[in-house]
Amino acid sequence: MPRTIPQTELDRLLALVLGHPDGMGIDAMAQALGGSLKRRTLQRRLGTLVAQGRLRMVGEARAARYVPVPVGPVQALGEVYVPTSPQGEEIKAFVRQPRVMRPPVGYRLAFLEQYHPNHTAYLPPDLREQLHAMGNAGTGHTPAGTFARDILNRLLIDFSWASSKLEGNTYSRLDTQRLIEFGQAAEGKDALETQMILNHKQAIEYLVLDPAHAQLTPDCVIALHAFLSDGLMADPTAVGRLRRRAVEIGGSVYLPIALPQRLEELFGIVIQMAAHIGDPFEQAFFLMVHVPYLQPFEDVNKRVSRLAANIPFIRHNLCPLSFIDVPQSAYVDAMIGVYECNRIELLRDVFVWAYERSCQQYGAVRQNLVPPDMFRLRHRQALSEVVAAIVHNDEAATEATVHARMPATVAKPDETHFTRLVLDEFLALHPGNAVRFGISPLEFSAWRQRHGALSGGRKVIRGGQ
């Protein structure tokens, strides 16, 4: 009987190829593996991965190379879902029983107590190795947050849209892009949906624009809740505050702990345990499991856990996790499995699939992106306000005008740079893109006729005819 190939060996080989989107030849793989597999054995492993549809062979003979096959959600019987393990299928079957078939359960302290940082592992070593191979950004010893900042504009849109969609938000990705880039709210959408998207944007910027914020501390997690829940809580005083009343979870028979003092104590323990976990992937997944399970806030717990899970990736310059294309049904089933069964396998299936999807997305994006201007990102709001004010007040775009409207948020040493940034913005401004600043095409055209020739000896308007 033929020997069964261990799945860990296949996953290790797949992770190696995933790190090379253009593919690898068998000689390059053998060298990368340090000769741990004989050539014929390696060929058999690759043949298995091709048969499974996880790799594709292009070219022939010595020129042949193996390339990753783009992953996508599994669609069966009309439902889009992620690929699941046998254990994940068990959990899915259980949580899809009618509520009356599932006995009510409360918070089980033993679930947390059984976990010992750096000894217990929700993610096996071989799986963590695979995730590291996929997520390694190749940023070497660059400062924390470099990868996330490089793709920030794309991450803002993807994460804000995908995370909100998991909560039932009906904004499309294009709607989200228009809202984030141009401040245009989608027509016919509830104001709370718009607020949810903008809250995500602010929370992501909080972590990425200043990596010093990206710390696994109670204060940081509470700050994320303050950003993500702003304007969305029935009780405004519950924004950025641990809950003080009992809550229930829709669609689940799980009843979270209710005593506020006990809740505060356990919240501190959960975050402290997470901070002591050495592996960033295990750390991220632990947060995705135990923050929603504890339900430390009156609402928005899952959103907090998804963004907090990115803290380890920001700190270690790994590819961020955006949850792009994650089916809502799979994520909800997985969380109910944690709530009611204390089983993490289905959520692990979702996590691994989602991370592989993010890596493929941002690996390609990063190759084609010009690094963002961090100064411009930091002062984006002030820049927009100054440009709009100059046009709305029918003023000339001069250094003196900009200086007179210098926002208090711009530090004294940065004023010259900020002034140049504003004037450069006017150089590129035309009726088609002035809408970014809340300026109508007619208003801009009229302003340009009066002020668009020369300004302070410098031509500030060009094009737009």
Identify the helix (H) or strand (E) that includes residue 280.
Answer: helix 280-294
Instruction: Give the β-pairing of 254-255 and 105-106.
Output: parallel
Report the alpha-carbon distance of residue 203 to residue 190 in Å, rounded. Answer: 21
Asked whether residue 1 is assigned to any structural domain, the reply reads no
Please check whether residues 355 and 406 belong to one and the same domain: no
Asked whether residue 174 is assigned to any structural domain, the reply reads yes
pLDDT at 80 over 90: no
- What pLDDT shows up at residue 365? 60
Asked whether residue 187 is assigned to any structural domain, the reply reads yes
Each residue's pLDDT tens digit, 163-182? 999 999 999 999 999 999 88
Closest by Cα among 376, 325, 313 to 350: 325
- What pLDDT shows up at residue 68? 75
Residue 58: burial class (beta carbons within 10 Å; 0-12, 13-18, 19+) = exposed
pLDDT at 5 over 80: no
Each residue's pLDDT tens digit, 223-258? 999 999 999 998 999 999 999 999 999 899 999 999
Please check whether residues 245 and 291 belong to one and the same domain: yes
Please check whether residues 116 and 208 belong to one and the same domain: yes
Which CATH number covers residue 325? 1.10.3290.10
CB-CB contact of 154 with 208 (8 Å): no
Asked whether residue 465 is assigned to any structural domain, the reply reads no
pLDDT at 458 over 70: no
Each residue's pLDDT tens digit, 313-339? 999 889 899 999 999 999 999 999 999
Report the alpha-carbon distance of residue 375 to residue 209 in Å, rounded. Answer: 10
Which CATH number covers residue 18? 1.10.10.10
415: containing domain: 374-451
Please check whether residues 128 and 203 belong to one and the same domain: yes
- What pLDDT shows up at residue 290? 98
Look at 191 and 68; give whichever has higher pLDDT: 191
CA 198 to chain CA centroid, nearest Å: 14
> Per-residue confidence at 55, pLDDT binned at 50, 70, 90?
confident
Please check whether residues 142 and 235 belong to one and the same domain: yes
pLDDT at 216 over 60: yes
Asked whether residue 458 is assigned to any structural domain, the reply reads no
- For residue 6, what are the CA distances in angstroms to 10, 12, 24? 7, 10, 22
Rounded to 5°, angle at Cα 225 from 222 and 231: 135
Domain boundary among 68, 89, 112: 68
What single letter denotes the amino acid at residue 79? E
Per-residue pLDDT, averaged over 122-150, amounts to 77
- What pLDDT shows up at residue 28? 83
Domain boundary among 68, 99, 115: 68
CB-CB contact of 421 with 376 (8 Å): yes
- What pLDDT shows up at residue 453? 44
Asked whether residue 464 is assigned to any structural domain, the reply reads no
Asked whether residue 210 is assigned to any structural domain, the reply reads yes
Please check whether residues 289 and 197 belong to one and the same domain: yes
- The whole-model pTM stands at 0.68
Please check whether residues 218 and 356 belong to one and the same domain: yes
Asked whether residue 241 is assigned to any structural domain, the reply reads yes
Count Cβ atoms below 10 Å from residue 152 Cβ, excluding itself.
21
Question: How many structural domains comprise the chain?
Answer: 3
pLDDT at 140 over 60: no
pLDDT at 71 over 60: no
CB-CB contact of 145 with 205 (8 Å): no
Please check whether residues 317 and 207 belong to one and the same domain: yes
- Taking the CA atoms of residue 260, residue 264, residue 270 and residue 274 in that order, the dihedral angle to the nearest 10 degrees is 150
Count Cβ atoms below 10 Å from residue 351 Cβ, excluding itself.
27
Please check whether residues 56 and 156 belong to one and the same domain: no
CB-CB contact of 439 with 397 (8 Å): no
- What pLDDT shows up at residue 21? 63
Report the alpha-carbon distance of residue 450 to residue 129 in Å, rounded. Answer: 63
Domain boundary among 368, 403, 431: 368
CB-CB contact of 340 with 105 (8 Å): yes
Please check whether residues 309 and 391 belong to one and the same domain: no
Please check whether residues 397 and 433 belong to one and the same domain: yes
Taking the alpha carbons at both ends of the chain, their separation in whole angstroms is 76
CB-CB contact of 257 with 266 (8 Å): yes
> Per-residue confidence at 464, pLDDT binned at 50, 70, 90?
very low
CB-CB contact of 128 with 348 (8 Å): no
Each residue's pLDDT tens digit, 397-438? 899 999 999 998 899 989 999 998 998 888 888 877 787 888
Please check whether residues 41 and 110 belong to one and the same domain: no
